Amino acid sequence: MRSILTTAAMLLLLPAVSVAAVHEYRLENGLKVIVKEDHRAPIVVSQVWYKVGASYEPGGLTGISHALEHMMFKGTHSLAPGEYSRIIAANGGEENAFTGRDYTAYHQTLAADRLEIAFKLEADRMRNLTLAAEEFAKEIEVVKEERRLRTEDKPTALTYEQLSAVAYRSLPYAHPV
């Protein structure tokens, strides 16, 4: 009876929870921008998602999306390796990235008045990324180690990967991330 009353009370409070509208825009260059405002804290989360991941990789090049995700932090023509992360941190923010089967995403959390910094850094990475061979070789090894820790050393993850390879044998979803 107590759980029923608790559930009923929570349902009555649901309308009080503010649900922000999601706005979608398309820029002249084709970039889709999705905005969801949330003013509970004076911060902004900026995310850039690209339609590139393991399912887009040809056989023999699996893991390349993940390696390129890492390379996005290794410098541009105007920023030294690691400088991107240092700038975000110096502005009180944090950043990271992740790769999946259908996407690679980069995200930053900063004070709301620092959004322009995140946008400028992302634009610089896309226009001016440097792909130094020695840095790329290092990141391939980092990706291999991440795979060992996240997949090869975890029976459940390894089983899922093996199942996907069989279930999606003739599809790009057979490729591991």
How do residues 20-76 score in pLDDT, each as one tens digit? 799 999 999 898 999 999 999 999 999 999 999 999 998 888 899 999 999 999 999
Residue 73 lies in a domain: yes
Residue 67 lies in a domain: yes
CATH at residue 145: 3.30.830.10
Residue 9 lies in a domain: no
Residue 14 lies in a domain: no
Of 57, 69, 95, 161, which one is the catalytic site residue? 69
Residue 170 lies in a domain: yes
Q: Considering Cα of 114, then 118, then 124, then 127, what sign does the dihedral take?
A: negative
Residue 2 lies in a domain: no
Residue keyed to tokens 């993850």: 157
28 in active site: no
Cα 59 from Cα 171, distance rounded (Å):
11
Which of 104, 35, 36 is CA-nearest to residue 72?
Answer: 104
Angle, CA 124 vertex, CA 78 and CA 108 arms, to 5° = 115
Instruction: Tell me the Cα Rg of the chain.
Output: 20
pLDDT tens digits, one per residue of 78-121: 999 999 999 999 999 999 999 999 999 999 999 999 999 999 99
Domain span including residue 118: 19-174
- Model pTM score: 0.82
Structural domains of the chain, count: 1
Q: How large is the angle between the packed helices 133-147 and 64-71, nearest 10 degrees?
A: 120
Residue 153 lies in a domain: yes
**50 and 105 in contact (C-beta within 8 Å)?**
yes
Residue 52 lies in a domain: yes
